[in-house]
Amino acid sequence: MKRWLPLISFAILAILLGFGLKNADTKSLIPSPLIDKPAPDFNLPLVGQPEVFVSKSDLLGTTYLLNVWGSWCAACRVEHPFMNQLSRSGILPVVGLNWKDEPTEAIAWLKQFGDPYSINMSDYSGRTAIDFGVYGAPESFIIDAKGNVRYKHIGVLNQQIFEREIQPLLATIAREVSGQ
Amino acid sequence: MIAELGQLTLIIAALLALAQFAFPIYGAWRNNQSFMAMGNSTAYGQFVFVSIALGILTYSFLVQDFSLAYVANNSNSDLPIIYRISAVWGAHEGSLLLWVFIITLWTVAVTVVSSRKTSVLPKAFSARVIAILGLVSFGFLLFVIFTSNPFDRILPAPFDGRDLNPLLQDIGLIIHPPMLYLGYVGFAVAFAFAIAALLGGEINREWVRWARPWTLLAWSFLTFGIALGSWWAYYELGWGGWWFWDPVENASFMPWIVGTALLHAQAVTEKRGSFIGWTLLLSISAFSLSLLGAFLVRSGVITSVHAFASDPTRGVFILMYLGVIVGGSLALYALRVPKMISGSGFTWFSRESLILINNLLLTVALFMVLLGTLYPIIADAFGMGKISVGPPYFGSLFIVIMAPLVMLIPLAAYSRWKQDKAGRVLSKLLVPLFISIAVTAMVAWQNDASNLRTLSGVFAGTWVISGTLRYTIERFRKNNRFTLPRSEFAMVLAHIGVGVFVIGVAMVETTSTEKHLAMGSGDSYTIAEYQFTFKGTEHIDGPNFSAERGTFLVTKNGKLISTMYPEKRQYRNNQIMTEAALDPGFTRDLYVSLGDPLDEARQIWAVRIYEKPFIRWIWLGALMMTFAGLIALSDRRYRRKKTHQNEPSAEPSNNTNPLTNGSMP
Amino acid sequence: MTPTRKKRLTVVLLILLGVSVAAAIAMTALQENLLYFLSPSEVAEQQMPTGRQFRLGGLVKEGSVNRATDSLKIRFRVTDGLKEVEIHYDDILPDLFREGQGIIAIGSLDNNRVFQADEVLAKHDEEYMAPEVADALQKAGHPRASKDSTSVAPSEYKP
């Protein structure tokens, strides 16, 4: 049986690598400590309307997707068509968190690529992003009607990930609401 | 439009690769000459189409076609032309295309050599080899087309590109990947020979003789590629290390370890006919580890523990590919490997037994590196938390495992095939032993900084060098002239390279002087009799960056010996780069790099000052091994028209030295 | 047993012995060099013993950086949004170290529960790196390329 040993070792290795691959899917650098905890408070001006402020409490009552983006971020451009599509689909409102960005550039960028955001807040200093534990743009959070963070995705969000991870979650959230 | 053409050429190339697999393998099975011959034409065709695809991608970089996502991500309108070319393989998609191109290059080389009139390869055998290479290439082409297409468009096209990572904007990185890939992919040839032998049942020492030059060539490229990478890291990464044991490096090092074991095992199989099954297994393993490396690095499996970037679809694809290629060949190995242990026997002290020890130690080293590299995945799979393995694990273990290997090198060169007496060999090595002790004592006496680790390193290195030289001199005497057969000269050179490398590592790792400190303009600091005076910084502008450039005057005994200009660059895409300043030398390098400004007004900077003795010896040793591989390749017996089938082992043992090439990194 | 078989057995036993010794040494070395990765919250929860080396990841808290101008000493706090950890460091910071930036520090806690860092690695970029870009840094081709961005391992961290 000695001759089968290499193949057997390889098979074990391959299974291990498969496991690794499965785990590689969970991309977060640090599992966000915010999951299932209240989202940090924020009170931010809107992009293009610096006199209008939106706070966390204003958004209570709806489940929404918070999308961290910046016009300086090329990966955001890759992600953007999906955000537009998501916003059009009306599955849930998309709220923008414009991170460390010049409002004028942000507005120009949205003109060029489309504006999916029902509400688009400007986090010029980046403080809110830190409260959220944002590691890089783009990053997306699902925040439920009670203001709890339910999900976090680092990197480009796409249809596949949305269907696989977010839609089941939205269904769960909907059940919770109807259950009460 | 031209990018779509590139895509099309890739698809055609993939079809040709499939044909290159199917026709000759069928031809070899049915003994049909015309089907076998189709392997050659399809191989040439595939090469042409892959070259066109690579050419188109290069062209897209040259004309700055930012509508290609790949170009937009890795180039910029300010990027100098030379880096636009190297940017072609600066990231995943393009580097994969380069990988495929190199497979086709090797295939064409094999095709040309095996279809020469003087070729000794049986037609069916070479048809199988070419078919296997076609299969290897087919998988990679599918991978490129389905998961990593460099010709994908990004719409609307951005106005300008993101720029190539500044770290990759360097001459070292223009040549490093092609060399490394020539090595990785080159093991595919030895792999294909082994599979062809298993398929055809021609498992004798002949196939080793045919496969050996290809292994040597691939091994030389890999050695050179790794050395180049190490050198690049040293001067470009800004903190002066030359090897870090990170997963990506390990990915390139594991095939090297097995490749080295393979070269030695091949020597035994070629000369004595022993170890055939083992040589087959190593041939399969070397290439399999190249593939494993590609998987580890491109799937995000390893980096996932600490980083975000990963693309599971790519990982799934490579894992399936690994399953087919590696799983298939190991199954074939299990079914076909000869039951009988062939070849002549040998006693416990003989060249065979020493090479066996070499192979055992290298295998243990391989498993050790593999374990350390995969441990984070294992821990993750069993829910043990996010874990990484610190470099000391590799560093200390590797020395423990390699030390006996290095010490045995001179013995192996001296020992005879089949059987020898340890006493005879050791008695010849008394002089080298004495020399090594003398040199070590001298170093200990001269150098206060030296400790036990330095001294053992110096002793081991000197022992290898002097032992090998002693052997060379004896051979000169016996032959009455100052030449050696090329393969023997190669062995000597490679082993001396190992000695040089060992000395370099021992000196750098234990006697370097490293100082991190805050320096203001006008401040001086002295390390190892070199006085460094900081003369402040000035602002300069490059093509796609701006920089603060510091000036350091270096004096020794009051005499100015060097003026060094380290830079802190800010590239236009906001990436910051530390450009270290080096003053290289045969016995020491001086190294200065700027940290960050602590007080801009008073020009106080964090500064790294290093004195690194003998660091050049590390790469010098690697270069010697590289050249040794190339010299061995040019040995007469690989150019002989017809190898006679009679016993090579009939030659007296001392005249036929195997290419026991480099045994340690 | 014939002499040859006896000899063969001895050789096999010797090899087995050597391999098991090597395996034992390897496992010990591995255990000694394992580094756990913790977030500030985990540090707060799990009573990590003082002096035990581990890796700490988080964001540099805005306004928390306090550094000397005439030496390399620096203090700052990292946060994960819930908890914070104070870090002391006395060496050259990575190029990309900034407030609000993600970092990984390697070191251990002292008696005052301050994290004494031996090494600080900074995240490569503020932007999430598209896989292809990250790959540029770590593809098989570039052992060091990873190093570049990643330093000692993590692909997006740079010392």
Q: A93 vs chain B: nearest CA distance in angstroms?
A: 25
A51: in domain: yes
Residue B525 · residue B532 · CB < 8 Å: yes
**Token pair recorded at residue C48:** 């990590």
Average pLDDT over residues B626-655: 62
Please, what are the averages of pLDDT over each run of 10 residues along chain A (180 residues)? 87 89 56 77 90 91 91 77 90 91 88 90 85 80 91 82 87 80
Question: What's the confidence (pLDDT) of residue B263?
Answer: 95
Residues 113-152 of A with CB under 8 A from C: 125-127, 129-133, 135-139
A102: in domain: yes
Question: What's the confidence (pLDDT) of residue C23?
Answer: 80
Check: CATH 3.40.190 for B1-164? no
B→A contacts (Cβ < 8 Å), by residue, are 69, 72-73, 154, 156, 158, 162, 277, 281, 284-285, 288, 292, 295, 299-302, 304, 306-310, 312, 315-316, 319, 322-323, 326-327, 330-331, 333-334, 337, 374, 377-378, 380-381
**Token pair recorded at residue A121:** 């807040």
Are the beta carbons of A133 and C80 separated by less than 8 Å? yes
Are the beta carbons of B389 and C93 separated by less than 8 Å? no
Question: What's the confidence (pLDDT) of residue B650?
Answer: 35
Question: What's the confidence (pLDDT) of residue A29?
Answer: 43
Mean pLDDT computed over every residue of chain B: 86
Question: What's the confidence (pLDDT) of residue B589?
Answer: 94
Residue A7 · residue A15 · CB < 8 Å: no
- Collect all residues of chain C within an 8 Å Cβ-Cβ radius of residue B516: 72, 91-92
Q: Which residue has the higher pLDDT, C21 or B28?
A: B28
Question: What's the confidence (pLDDT) of residue A31?
Answer: 54
Whether C141 shows a pLDDT value over 50: the answer reads no
- Collect all residues of chain A within an 8 Å Cβ-Cβ radius of residue C123: 135-136
**Token pair recorded at residue B304:** 């996932």
Whether B392 shows a pLDDT value over 60: the answer reads yes
Are the beta carbons of A130 and C81 separated by less than 8 Å? yes
Of C32, C36, C142, the CB nearest to B229: C142
Question: What's the confidence (pLDDT) of residue B115?
Answer: 85
The region of weakest confidence among B369-378, B529-538, B654-663 is B654-663
Average pLDDT over residues B103-125: 90
**What are the boundaries of each domain within chain C?**
1-34, 37-123
Percent of chain C past pLDDT 70, that is, above it, reads 74
Highest-pLDDT range among B127-131, B638-642, C110-114: B127-131
Which chain C residue lies closest to A32 (C-alpha atoms)?
Answer: C80
Q: What are phi and psi of B242, to 5 degrees?
A: -120, -10
A154: in domain: yes
Question: What's the confidence (pLDDT) of residue B639?
Answer: 65
Question: What's the confidence (pLDDT) of residue B581?
Answer: 93
Question: What's the confidence (pLDDT) of residue B91?
Answer: 79
Of C35, C71, C140, the CB nearest to B518: C71
> Residue B171, SS3?
helix
- Collect all residues of chain B within an 8 Å Cβ-Cβ radius of residue C141: 89, 95, 98, 176-177, 180-181
Are the beta carbons of C79 and A130 separated by less than 8 Å? yes
> Residue C100, SS3?
coil
Question: What's the confidence (pLDDT) of residue B653?
Answer: 37
| Residue B188 CB coordination number (10 Å) | 26
Which chain C residue lies closest to A75 (C-alpha atoms)?
Answer: C130
d(CA C159, CA C154): 10
> Residue A33, SS3?
coil
Question: What's the confidence (pLDDT) of residue B309?
Answer: 41
Question: What's the confidence (pLDDT) of residue B504?
Answer: 95
Interface membership of A11 toward B (CB under 8 Å): yes
Give the amino acid at B568.
K
**Token pair recorded at residue B173:** 């990185």
- Place B235 in a pLDDT band, splitting at 50, 70 and 90: confident
Are the beta carbons of C131 and B311 separated by less than 8 Å? yes
Are the beta carbons of B310 and C33 separated by less than 8 Å? no
Average pLDDT over residues C53-82: 85
- Collect all residues of chain A within an 8 Å Cβ-Cβ radius of residue C61: 130
Average pLDDT over residues B178-182: 92
Beta bridge partners of B515: B609
Question: What's the confidence (pLDDT) of residue A1?
Answer: 65
Are the beta carbons of B167 and C148 separated by less than 8 Å? yes
Tokens 């980046």 identify what position? Answer: A126
Question: What's the confidence (pLDDT) of residue C123?
Answer: 59
Are the beta carbons of C123 and A34 separated by less than 8 Å? no
User: Which whole-number Å values give the CA distances from B490 to B357, B397, B493, B632, C14, in the listed order?
Assistant: 21, 29, 5, 5, 32
Which letter, b or e, does each residue of B393-431 get, where b requires 16 or more Cβ atoms within 10 Å of its Cβ?
Answer: bbeebbbbbbbebbebbbbbbbbbbbbbeeeebeebbee
Q: Give yes or no for a cis peptide into B410 (omega within 30° of 0).
A: no
Check: CATH 2.40.50.140 for C37-123? yes
Residues 24-53 of C with CB under 8 A from A: 39, 41
Query: Is residue A6 within a helix (H) or strand (E), and if so which, with residue range?
Result: helix A5-24
Residue A44 · residue A123 · CB < 8 Å: yes
> How many domains are there within chain A?
1
Are the beta carbons of C80 and A74 separated by less than 8 Å? no
The region of weakest confidence among A27-41, B246-260, B625-639 is A27-41
Are the beta carbons of A6 and B299 separated by less than 8 Å? no
> For B43-91, how does the pLDDT look when each residue is reduced to its tens digit (9 = 90+)?
999 999 999 999 999 999 999 888 888 888 788 888 888 889 888 988 7
Q: C18 vs chain B: nearest CA distance in angstroms?
A: 9
Q: List, as own/partner pairs, every contact residues B585-589 make where C-beta atoms lie below 8 angstroms and the sequence separation is at least 24, other chains included.
A: B585/B616, B586/B616, B587/B613, B587/B614, B588/B528, B588/B612, B588/B613, B588/B614, B588/B615, B589/B615, B589/B616
Are the beta carbons of B295 and A17 separated by less than 8 Å? yes
Whether B398 shows a pLDDT value over 90: the answer reads no
Interface membership of B577 toward C (CB under 8 Å): yes
Q: Give yes or no for a cis peptide into B312 (omega within 30° of 0).
A: no
Are the beta carbons of B91 and C132 separated by less than 8 Å? yes
Neighbours of chain A (3+ CB pairs under 8 A): B, C
Question: What's the confidence (pLDDT) of residue A21?
Answer: 79
Query: Is residue B546 within a helix (H) or strand (E), and if so which, with residue range?
Result: strand B545-556
Whether B500 shows a pLDDT value over 80: the answer reads yes
Chain centre to alpha carbon of residue B488: 23
Question: What's the confidence (pLDDT) of residue B320?
Answer: 93
- Place C153 in a pLDDT band, splitting at 50, 70 and 90: very low
The Cα angle at residue B356 between residues B120 and B289, in degrees rounded to 5: 70
- Collect all residues of chain C within an 8 Å Cβ-Cβ radius of residue B165: 133, 136-137, 145, 148-149
For chain A, the maximum distance between any two Cα atoms, rounded to a whole number of angstroms, is 77
> Residue A64, SS3?
strand
- Collect all residues of chain B within an 8 Å Cβ-Cβ radius of residue A13: 292, 374
| Residue A78 CB coordination number (10 Å) | 18
Q: A178 vs chain C: nearest CA distance in angstroms?
A: 31
The region of weakest confidence among A55-59, A142-146, B95-99, C79-83 is C79-83
Residue B353 · residue B421 · CB < 8 Å: no
HSE of B87, CA atoms in CB hemisphere, 13 A: 31
Interface membership of C70 toward B (CB under 8 Å): yes
Mean pLDDT computed over every residue of chain C: 71
CATH code, A123: 3.40.30.10
Interface membership of C100 toward A (CB under 8 Å): yes
Highest-pLDDT range among B338-347, B464-473, C33-42: B464-473
Q: A179 vs chain C: nearest CA distance in angstroms?
A: 30
- Collect all residues of chain C within an 8 Å Cβ-Cβ radius of residue A40: 81
User: Which whole-number Å values give the CA distances from B321 to B125, B368, C103, in the listed order?
Assistant: 24, 25, 36
Whether B282 shows a pLDDT value over 50: the answer reads yes
Q: Which residues contact A114 (CB under 8 A, 6 or more apart)?
A: A80, A84
Tokens 């460390």 identify what position? Answer: A100
Interface membership of A23 toward B (CB under 8 Å): yes
> For C6-52, how does the pLDDT look when each residue is reduced to its tens digit (9 = 90+)?
777 787 788 788 778 878 888 888 888 888 878 787 888 777 788 88
Neighbours of chain C (3+ CB pairs under 8 A): A, B
Residues of chain B with CATH 1.20.120: 1-164
Are the beta carbons of C93 and B596 separated by less than 8 Å? yes
Are the beta carbons of C62 and A78 separated by less than 8 Å? no
Full residue range of the structural domain in which residue A58 is found: 35-179
Are the beta carbons of A136 and C81 separated by less than 8 Å? no
A26: in domain: no
- Place B300 in a pLDDT band, splitting at 50, 70 and 90: low
- Place B201 in a pLDDT band, splitting at 50, 70 and 90: confident
Whether B651 shows a pLDDT value over 60: the answer reads no
Q: Which residue has the higher pLDDT, B558 or C57?
A: B558
A25: in domain: no
Of C41, C83, C126, the CB nearest to A136: C126
Q: C58 vs chain A: nearest CA distance in angstroms?
A: 8
Interface membership of C31 toward B (CB under 8 Å): no
Residue C57 · residue C37 · CB < 8 Å: yes
Q: Which residue has the higher pLDDT, A30 or B42?
A: B42
Question: What's the confidence (pLDDT) of residue B363?
Answer: 93
Q: List, as own/partner pairs, every contact residues B380-387 make where C-beta atoms lie below 8 angstroms and the sequence separation is at least 24, other chains included.
A: B380/A19, B380/A20, B380/A23, B380/B305, B381/A16, B381/A19, B381/A20, B381/A23, B385/C36, B385/C37, B386/B305, B386/B306, B386/C36, B386/C37, B387/B305, B387/C34, B387/C35, B387/C36, B387/C37
Residues 23-82 of A with CB under 8 A from C: 29-34, 37, 40, 70, 72-75, 78
